[in-house]
Chains A and B, each alone.
Chain A
C-alpha cells in the first residue's frame, strides 16, 4: 500500500532522507524507529504530500505522491508529530470541521463524529473547548481526527508522546483494533517495546538511511541479539569467575558478564548472553553444576527491542 523508492530529501546542505526505499503491505502495522532527527517525520510528510522529494518516487495505494495528491488524501490519514488545534473551536466543531473538509455529507457528520469520539473515548469532552483539553486528550483528539474519513492508510507520527501509561495502553488497543479492521498503519515512536507489541514489522532509520526493514524476529537476528539469562549463586557456591570461564569456552554462549558480590558475603551472579539462534537453557545449568556452582535462581530475560535498536544503530553513527 505504501511504496517508497529511492527517495532523497535535502534541506539545504543537510540530507534528511538518503535514497530511502520502503514497502508496506495492506494490513501491516509498520513501526518506524529511529533516533531524533533520523528522518521519520520527513518520510511521513512526503507520504502525506506535504513535502516533495528531491528525487525518487513514493506511492500510496498506487497513487503517486507527486501527481495524485487529491486521490491520496482520500485514502490517507496523517497525524503530525506536533498536533495543532484550532483553539477557538469545541471538540465537536473541530471534528465537524474536518468531516466537512473531507466532504462528508452534512447528514452523516454527526454520526461520524460520534463514532470517532466513542472510539477514542472522548465523548465526555464533546462540547469542551479544544484548548482546554490536556495534552494527552488533544493527542486522542488527533487520532479521532485522523479516523474521521475512514482512511485505509494511517500515518501516525509519535502518537504516544505525551500520553500517560493508561492512555498508552488504550492507544495500543486502539491501534490493534484498527489493525483488525485491515488498515495499513505506519507508526513512528521512540517507545520501542510498545511498537514491538503492536507492529507486524519494523523499520529502523538513521541519518536518513533505512538500516533495517522486516519482521521483529528478523530484527533481532540481524542485530545479533541473543537471549540473556541472569544466574544468581547461593552462598558457599563455587566462585562465579571460574564458572564464567567455563561458560565462555562454550560456542553457544556469546558472552558472560560478572556481577559483583553482594554486601552480605553472597557471591556475585552471572549474566549469560546466548549466541543468537540458541534457545535451549539446559546445557547452561549442567555446565554450571558440573563446575560446582549452586544456583540460587535462574531467570531468562526477554530480549529488548531497545537492545536490538541500539545495536543496529550503533555502528552507523560515524
Chain B
C-alpha cells in the first residue's frame, strides 16, 4: 500500500486543483517511480481493473477473438494440407513455409484493426458513464486529481488492450516454428499495434469528457484514428500536385497503418529509410501524441468537475434543443418559486407529436449526428474531397467509382456494426428498459423499432454513394444498373449487422461489449475469413473446383465489399467494350445473370440470417430482458 502513503504525503491542494505546477512539484518530492505507480495504479485503476475483471464480457470478447484467430489459422493450414495431400515431404514443408508470412501479416493486421477500434470503445465510457451515474461528483470530492483519474482509467483499460494484443503471441510464435517469419516483424507489428491502441484509447478517453454516450466517444476516437492513418496519403497527393514529381516514400512512415503495410511487404525499391527500424519513429509520435491528448483530457476533466460543482449537474451535456439556462441550471429553485416555474416552463423546447409506434418514433428522432452544424461540416469535407478527386482524376475514370463504392461499403458496414449496439443497453443503463417492458408494446415492436431506427441513422453514406453513382452514370462512367445492384449488395449485410447489433445489445450488459462483439462478427466474416482463404489460395494455387476453392467463392460472394468492387468493375466503362459486361468472381468471370443471382443469393442468406437472429431474440426476450432488470 505504498501508493496510498504517497498520496497522503503529497500536498493536497484540493481535488479541483489541476495545476500542472503543483503536480510536478509533488512528483519531484515523492520520487519518480512511486509517483508513477501512484498515478497509474492508484485507487481509480484498482477499482476499474476490478470491475473489468468481474465482467464476463471481458473474457467472452477475449476468447471470441482468440477463437476467431485460431480458426482462421486452422482453416488456412487445413486448406494447405488438403491441397498438398499428394505432395512429397519437402514440397509439403515448403508449402507451409510459404503460408507463414502471409498468415502472420493477416493476424498482425487483424490485431492492428481490433486494437485501434477496441481501444476507444474501452475508454469511451470512462468519464461519461461516471457522469451518467452521477458518481463524478463523488470522485471529485476525493483528493484525487483529474490527471490521476484520467491516467488510472486509461491504465486499467490499457491492461485489457495489452492482454488482447498479446493473445496473438502464441499464434505468431507457432508460425515462427515453420520458419519464414522474422522476429523484427513481430516486434515492429506489436509495437505499432500497441502505440496505435494507446493513442486511440487516449482519444476515446478525451472524447468521453464531452460525449453524451460512450458510443459517441468511441466513434470519435475511431474516426480520428482513421484520419491519422490516412493523412500520409493526403500528404503524398498534395506533394504530387505541388511538385508534379512522384512523392517521397518517407510519407508512409508517418501513418501506423502504412508503416505496418510496409513491414508486411518487406523492403521496397526506392526506400530511403532503414527497413528494420523505421517503425520506431511513428511509435514514438503516437506515444507523444497520446501524452498530449491525456494532458488535455485531464485539464478538461478538471474544468468539468469545477463546473459541475458550481452548478447543478445536467445528466447529458449537450443541449440538443433550446432550453433556458435557468431551467437547466437549477430546477430546484423553480419548484420553490412558482412564478419562475411558470416563466421557464414556457420558454422550453417545443413538444412534438408522438407517432403510433413510440419506440420507432423515438429512434427515428435520434439524430445521426449530434448537431446540424457537425453534420454540415462533415458532409462539406467529404463532398469537397469527392470534388477534388473528380477535378483531378475525372469522373469518367473507371477506378474512381470502384474506389468510392468500396470505401463507401466499408464505412457503411462499420456504421451498421455500431449503429444499433447501444439501443437496448442504453435503455437499461438509463433504467427505462423495465418501464418499457410493462407497456403494451410487444417485443417485436420494440426490437423492430430499434432495428429500423438504426437503419435510418445510417442514411448519410448511402446518400453520398447515391449522389456519386448518379453523377457517374450521367457522366457515362458506369452503367445505370450499378445503382440497384449496389443497393442489393449492401442492403442484406446492413440489415444483418443492425439485427445482430440489437441482439447483442439485448443479450450483453454493456454497449461497448456489444459493439466489440458485433465488430468481431463483421470483421470475422468479411476480413479474417477471406484473408485466410486468400492466403491459402495463394499458397496452394488451388483451382476453383477444389474444396478450398468452393469455400473461397462462397465466402467472397457473401462479402459485400468484394462484391461492390466486382460490380463496379464489371459495370464500369472500361468493360463496356465487349457485348456483355463480365464480373470477376474469384477465378472466373461471370455474366450479369450469374452475378445477379449470386447477389440475390447473398442478400437472401443475410435476410434469412437476420430473421433467424430476430426470431431467436423474440424467443429469448423474457430471459435476456430479465437479466437487465436490476
Contact = CB atoms under 8 A, between A and B. Distances in A.
A37 interface: no
Given A125-B345, A128-B345, A100 B354 contact: yes
A87 interface: yes
Interface string B348-389: 111111111111011001100000000000000000000000
A61 interface: no
B431 interface: yes
Given A52-B622, A127-B348, A86 B438 contact: no
B349 A51 contact: no
B440 A50 contact: no
A91 to B, nearest CB: 8
A223 to B, nearest CB: 33
A84 B440 contact: no
B345 A131 contact: no
For chain B, which range describes its interface: under 10, 10 to 19, 20 to 34, or 35 or more residues? 35 or more
A15 B357 CA distance: 39
A50 B437 contact: yes
Interface stretch (A68-76, A198-206, A230-238, A249-257): A68-76
B345 A78 contact: no
Interface string B338-350: 1001101110111
A168 interface: no
Contact of A87 (B316, B341, B350, B434): B316
A123 to B, nearest CB: 8
B440 A132 contact: no
B430 interface: yes
Contacts of A51: 626, 629
Nearest to A78: B438
B527 interface: no
B435 A97 contact: no
A98 B439 contact: yes
A316 to B, nearest CB: 26
B348 A50 contact: no
Contacts of A132: 314, 323, 327-328, 331, 348
A48 B627 CA distance: 15
A145 B629 contact: no
B353 A96 contact: yes
B433 interface: yes
B354 A99 contact: yes
B332 interface: yes
B63 interface: no
A83 B435 CA distance: 9
B432 A85 contact: yes
Contacts of B335: 134, 136-137, 164
Given A50-B438, A132-B327, A92 B351 contact: yes
A172 interface: no
B629 A134 contact: no
A282 interface: no
Nearest to B433: A84
Contacts of B487: none
B24 interface: no
B541 interface: no
Interface in A118-167: 124-129, 131-134, 136-137, 145, 149, 164
B331 A137 contact: yes
For chain A, which range describes its interface: under 10, 10 to 19, 20 to 34, or 35 or more residues? 35 or more
A77 B440 CA distance: 11
B320 interface: yes
Contacts of B431: 80, 82-84
A185 to B, nearest CB: 16
B480 interface: no
Contacts of B427: 84
Contact of A70 (B316, B327, B354, B440): B440
A206 to B, nearest CB: 21
Contact of B434 (A52, A76, A80, A128): A80
Interface stretch (A101-109, A212-220, A265-273, A287-295): A101-109
B435 A145 contact: yes
A49 B622 CA distance: 9
Contact of A45 (B351, B439, B629): B629
B440 A101 contact: yes
Contacts of B439: 73, 98, 101-102
A114 interface: no
A312 to B, nearest CB: 28
Contact of A84 (B331, B338, B430): B430
B430 A93 contact: no
Interface in A29-54: 45, 48-52
B315 interface: yes
B358 A97 contact: yes
B321 interface: yes
B407 interface: no
Contacts of B436: 101
A89 interface: yes
A127 B622 contact: no
A149 B361 CA distance: 19
Interface of A: 45, 48-52, 70, 73-74, 76-78, 80, 82-93, 96-103, 106, 109, 124-129, 131-134, 136-137, 145, 149, 164
19 contacts: A49-B438, A50-B437, A50-B625, A51-B626, A51-B629, A74-B440, A80-B435, A87-B316, A88-B320, A91-B351, A92-B351, A97-B354, A100-B358, A126-B351, A127-B349, A129-B327, A129-B349, A131-B314, A149-B440
Given A78-B434, A80-B435, 16 more contacts: A50-B437, A70-B442, A80-B434, A85-B430, A87-B430, A90-B348, A98-B358, A100-B357, A126-B351, A127-B351, A128-B323, A129-B348, A131-B315, A134-B332, A136-B335, A137-B335
